[in-house]
Amino acid sequence: MKQREHFGSRFAVIAAMAGSAVGLGNIWRFPYILGEYGGAAFILVYMAACLVLALPIFYAESIIGRSSRSDTFGAMNKLAPGTPWRWVGLLTIISPLLLLGYYSVVGGWSVEYLFKSLSFSFTEVPAEEVPHFFGRFISSTWQPLFAHTAFMALVAGVVLGGVRNGIEKFSKLAMPALFILILVIVGYSLTLPGSFKGVEYLVKPDFSKLSADAIAAALGQAFFSLSLGVGTILTFSSYVKKEENLLVSGVGTAASDLLFAVIAAFAVIPAVFAAGLQPSGGPGLVFETLPYIFNKMGEGMPLLSTLVSSIFFVAILAAALTSAISMLEVGVAFLTDEWGMKRRSATLVLTFFCWSVGILCSLSFGPLADVKVLGLTFFDFLDHLCSDWLLPVGGLLFTTFVGWKMSKDKVRDEFTNGGTVNTRLFDTVYFLMRYVAPVGILVVFATNLLM
């Protein structure tokens, strides 16, 4: 039997998992969601959601992945042979591919904005013009399609390299670089006059603004941001060595994810306040507001502002790429493990599938804007289907599997590396996986259905 690939070190494991977790969810989504739900209070709820709900599901996926050393489908087949659980495995192969279809469109936007920035587009026109770039760009036919294609090609290129050469090398380079890049933007953002109000907004909680849907939004964001419920963490865990401490890689990943989200908020929100704009600007916040701010900053110093904005979009692109790679890897692992396909053909077939889904999503802002599925455009439909349903359903099934289907001894054995580590914490983590996480997800469902 062919030797399964492994991540080379603990740093590599955390870098690849954090690479999956840190993405558009942190830099594009987190700042506008917290802007919509009230700032500092939302951050606190989000942290609680990560700790008591997301982290246990992270461990459930890690336990299934490492104990089976398989892709999601193979894992279920091995751990619960002959049961319907393998359909859960199949579901979580399809969901990240659908997710990648529309994620790649947003990834493409960051490719385009990097080019716009490098070609001085933000500084050469009057400030009022800049926010309109976004609407004009996404509603056109070809430009977003080219950008989406370029993004998918980059993703396929890295996945083709394999776990050790492709994903690991890329993540090790991109994650620390990204961290430094965002800190540069934070530093810049905090020097802007008026940015202090933004800092206040991020550190002074106002609990009166916290509603039930803010809590549901925090839970949903935790899923999206930690890449849960779609088999990504499960698949990456199947490449983790037996000696690795799962507790540590989970905490390391969750902590870096949270850190990136909070830093991204400190990069974006103070700048929004400095420009006298609204933090509740919605999904356009990064793509509409920041170029406008960069334009204002660039008055008299277009070179400096171009440098800052280019750094920012490189950071977004790097983050989006490492996440997108992890979505594709789930399906590639399935096709190579289960169907015996070569990594190369598996990557190309799945890339083509995601690229085709992405075409529909990209065109849904322009020529296909009137084509609706259940009243939503392709892009909105897929976004809604993935974030509100597929991810939570996947997470619920994984944690139910570990908490109720696997034997407690096997779960303990995997989590504690045969009773050598984390033995004191096991009961708490097990309780969270068995009771707290499933109930928490059901609450998210109930809230989504009722609102």
Residues of this chain that bind ligand PFF (CB under 6 A): 20-21, 23-26, 96, 99, 224-225, 227, 230, 232, 323, 326-327
Amino acid at 78: K
Q: What does the alpha-carbon distance between residue 37 and residue 264 come to, in Å, rounded to a whole number?
A: 16
- Compute the least distance from the CB of residue 344 to ligand PFF, in Å: 22
- Compute the least distance from the CB of residue 187 to ligand PFF, in Å: 23
Q: What does the alpha-carbon distance between residue 86 and residue 71 come to, in Å, rounded to a whole number?
A: 11
- Compute the least distance from the CB of residue 402 to ligand PFF, in Å: 18
Pick between residue 283 and residue 302 the one whose CB is nearest to ligand PFF: 283
- Compute the least distance from the CB of residue 326 to ligand PFF, in Å: 5
- Compute the least distance from the CB of residue 102 to ligand PFF, in Å: 11
The tokens describing 168, both together, are 């690991």
Pick between residue 305 and residue 387 the one whose CB is nearest to ligand PFF: 387
Pick between residue 230 and residue 274 the one whose CB is nearest to ligand PFF: 230
Pick between residue 227 and residue 249 the one whose CB is nearest to ligand PFF: 227
Q: 140: buried, middle or exposed (CB in 10 Å: 19+, 13-18, 0-12)?
A: middle
Pick between residue 247 and residue 330 the one whose CB is nearest to ligand PFF: 330
Are 301 and 314 contacting, i.e. CB atoms less than 8 angstroms apart?
A: no
- Give the chain's length: 451
Pick between residue 218 and residue 230 the one whose CB is nearest to ligand PFF: 230
Pick between residue 327 and residue 411 the one whose CB is nearest to ligand PFF: 327
Q: Which residue is nearest to ligand PFF (CB)?
A: 25
CA distances from 302 to 33, 288, 297, 394 (A): 30, 18, 8, 47
- Compute the least distance from the CB of residue 258 to ligand PFF, in Å: 11
- Compute the least distance from the CB of residue 171 to ligand PFF, in Å: 13
- Compute the least distance from the CB of residue 58 to ligand PFF, in Å: 12
Over the chain, what HEC string results?
CCCCCCCCCHHHHHHHHHHHHCCHHHHHHHHHHHHHCCCHHHHHHHHHHHHHHHHHHHHHHHHHHHHHCCCHHHHHHHHCCCCCHHHHHHHHHHHHHHHHHHHHHHHHHHHHHHHHHHCCCCCCCCHHHHHHHHHHHHHCCHHHHHHHHHHHHHHHHHHHCHHHHHHHHHHHHHHHHHHHHHHHHHHHHHCCCCCHHHHHHHHCCCHHHCCHHHHHHHHHHHHHHCCCCCCHHHHHHCCCCCCCCHHHHHHHHHHHHHHHHHHHHHHHHHHHHHCCCCCCCHHHHHHHHHHHHHHHHCCCCHHHHHHHHHHHHHHHHHHHHHHHHHHHHHHHHHHHHHCCCCHHHHHHHHHHHHHHHHHHHHHCCCCCCCCCECCECHHHHHHHHHHHHHHHHHHHHHHHHHHHHCCHHHHHHHHCCCCCCCCCCHHHHHHHHHHHHHHHHHHHHHHHHHC
Pick between residue 171 and residue 232 the one whose CB is nearest to ligand PFF: 232
Pick between residue 70 and residue 227 the one whose CB is nearest to ligand PFF: 227
Pick between residue 68 and residue 232 the one whose CB is nearest to ligand PFF: 232
Pick between residue 185 and residue 318 the one whose CB is nearest to ligand PFF: 318
- Compute the least distance from the CB of residue 449 to ligand PFF, in Å: 22
Pick between residue 298 and residue 358 the one whose CB is nearest to ligand PFF: 358
Tell me which residue has tokens 């495995």: 89
Q: What does the alpha-carbon distance between residue 361 and residue 383 come to, in Å, rounded to a whole number?
A: 10
- Compute the least distance from the CB of residue 156 to ligand PFF, in Å: 16
- Compute the least distance from the CB of residue 424 to ligand PFF, in Å: 30
- Compute the least distance from the CB of residue 257 to ligand PFF, in Å: 7
